């Protein structure tokens, strides 16, 4: 983790918020539809989404591997006069409880292909039955956008990008699923600018009586 943490600590050491201070539009749209509760934001970086959720009245927990990201997130929370519980570490180190959260949001949280499914499963364990997963991430087709526009952002390794089938498989025990791959015009700070190919997923974790197993 240390090498990857160093990369993100360096990126977040800029004075400005490198992905902006405004929330991700997809997250904003989805939170407007949901009753306020306890949300976990994974890979939350500088805190723009966590702080936004807190301004709506959500109880907010967030985590990332970057201590610099946490510091900037807490500064942004202070600016907006809200509180967030921000932890630094890998998911398996943080001792969250099973079924602790009403919503878990993964906004441009890209895990290595060999870890992705296991981490998504672990996150599912932390969602209460009837709770929601929200995800927006770059798709494998985003590689062509990066070639045309280096400011589009996102991982350069296709194995860190996602497909609709992979996301469906990782969250197979969800219902009321909405999933699409779309092209969006990104304007998020310095590193998400221009056309991006993204996957957007929402789903409700099945209630015990609805499971097939």
Mean per-residue pLDDT for 21-26? 97
Per-residue pLDDT band at 211 (split at 50, 70, 90)? low
User: How far, in Å, CA of 109 to CA of 105, rounded?
Assistant: 9
Q: What is the mean pLDDT of the chain?
A: 95
pLDDT at 65 over 60: yes
| CA of residue 202 relative to chain centroid, distance | 12
DSSP string, 60-95: EEEEES-HHHHHHHHHHHHHTT---EEEES-GGGS-
Q: How far apart are CA 180 and CA 56, in angstroms?
A: 26
Mean pLDDT, residues 115-140 taken together:
97
Residue 43: CA atoms inside 13 Å, Cβ hemisphere, count? Answer: 16
Domain total in the chain: 1
Q: pLDDT per residue over 95-124, tens digit each?
A: 999 999 999 999 999 999 999 999 999 999
CB 142 within 8 A of CB 198: yes
pLDDT over threshold 90, residue 9: yes
SS3 of residue 54 by DSSP? helix
Distance of alpha carbon 41 from alpha carbon 59, whole angstroms: 11
- What's the CATH code of the domain at 93? 3.40.50.150
Range of the domain at 68: 2-210
pLDDT of amino acid 85:
98
- What pLDDT is attached to residue 110? 96
- Give 6's DSSP letter: H
Cα distance between residue 205 and residue 32, in whole Å: 19
Per-residue pLDDT at 81: 98
Q: What is the pLDDT of residue 6?
A: 95
The yes-or-no verdict on residue 147 having pLDDT over 90 is no
At 210 the pLDDT is 64
Residue in this structure with the two tokens 């932390």, named with its chain if needed: 126
Q: For 76-91, how does the pLDDT look when each residue is reduced to its tens digit (9 = 90+)?
A: 999 999 999 999 999 9
């Amino acid at each position: 983790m240390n090498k990857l943490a160093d990369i993100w600590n360096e990126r977040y050491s800029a004075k400005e918020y490198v992905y902006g201070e405004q929330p991700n539009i997809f997250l904003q749209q989805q939170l407007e539809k949901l009753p306020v509760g306890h949300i976990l934001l994974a890979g939350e970086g500088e805190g723009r989404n966590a702080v936004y959720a807190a301004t709506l009245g959500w109880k907010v927990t967030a985590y990332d591997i970057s201590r610099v990201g946490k510091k900037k997130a807490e500064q942004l929370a202070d600016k907006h006069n809200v509180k967030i519980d921000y932890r630094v570490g890998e998911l398996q180190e943080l001792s969250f409880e099973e079924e602790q959260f009403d919503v878990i949001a993964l906004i441009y949280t890209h895990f290595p292909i060999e870890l992705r499914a296991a981490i998504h499963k672990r996150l599912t364990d932390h969602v209460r039955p009837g709770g929601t997963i929200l995800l927006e991430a770059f798709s494998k087709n985003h590689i062509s956008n990066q070639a045309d526009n280096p400011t589009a952002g996102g991982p350069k390794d296709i194995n860190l990008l996602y497909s609709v089938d992979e996301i469906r498989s990782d969250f197979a025990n969800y219902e009321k699923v909405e999933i699409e791959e779309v092209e969006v015009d990104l304007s998020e700070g310095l590193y998400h600018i221009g056309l991006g190919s993204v996957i957007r997923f929402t789903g409700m974790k099945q209630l015990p009586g609805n499971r097939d197993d």
